[in-house]
Amino acid sequence: MELALTQDMSFVALVAQASWVVKGVMLLLLFASVVSWWMIFEKWFTLRREQREATLFEREFWGGNHTAIIERADEDTRRSSLEEVFRAGWREFRVNRPATVTPQAVVESARRAMRAAYQREMDLIELHLPFLATVGSVSPYVGLFGTVWGIMNAFLGLANVAQATLAQVAPGIAEALIATAIGLFAAIPAVIAYNRFTHDIDRLSNRHDVFMEEFSNILQQEAAKR
């Protein structure tokens, strides 16, 4: 005799049949996934813009067009992070240049101003990266918690059944495993994006370090001419 009653094993039905704890885990992971994807796109566009503007500034600066760059130093409009570092150093150098201090002290003051501006810019660029790292590392465990809870409930539901079969426990296990799948869905893109963005930020940071050293040499030469 064949069983006439069949269960709906579709994805939507399994989610709807899950316990409230598993549903809460799924909603939390879906929310984390949506937020992380938003941050991924935002950070991708930000880093592309920073790299493009840094290249344009370096091309303009080392191309000898210092007049236009210096004229922009007093503007309030924010430009690339590299130009913000230049502004901080140039303003500090310009303020201390007429002072009765040694050239080395003038350059060191400008270097400290550039380093402080560099740290501020890096903090802005690295914004949201800790969240991506957290999603990438924690989401699989959150999904695993939902899976363990769902499987536990599935087996507890067999306590009052005289003869347990795989067909009876399969839906509960399947709906529980969805939590793990959603956890991986949230974690994998976050981990990949975090690693990629960390690499890009390290490269951008190296460009800032090189520029600060080369610009400090230029300021040293200018200070020695006083």
103-147 residue pLDDT tens: 788 888 889 999 999 999 999 999 889 999 999 999 999 988 888
Task: Give the CA angle between residues 128, 129, 133 to the nearest 5°.
Answer: 120
Q: Which candidate, 112, 81, 102, places its Cα nearest to that of 201?
A: 81
153 has a pLDDT exceeding 80: no
pLDDT level of residue 205 (50, 70, 90 thresholds): very high
Report how far apart, in Å, the C-alpha atoms of 5 and of each of 1, 8, 17, 172 are: 12, 10, 17, 17
Mean pLDDT computed over 82-91: 88
CA 119 from chain centre, in angstroms, equals: 17
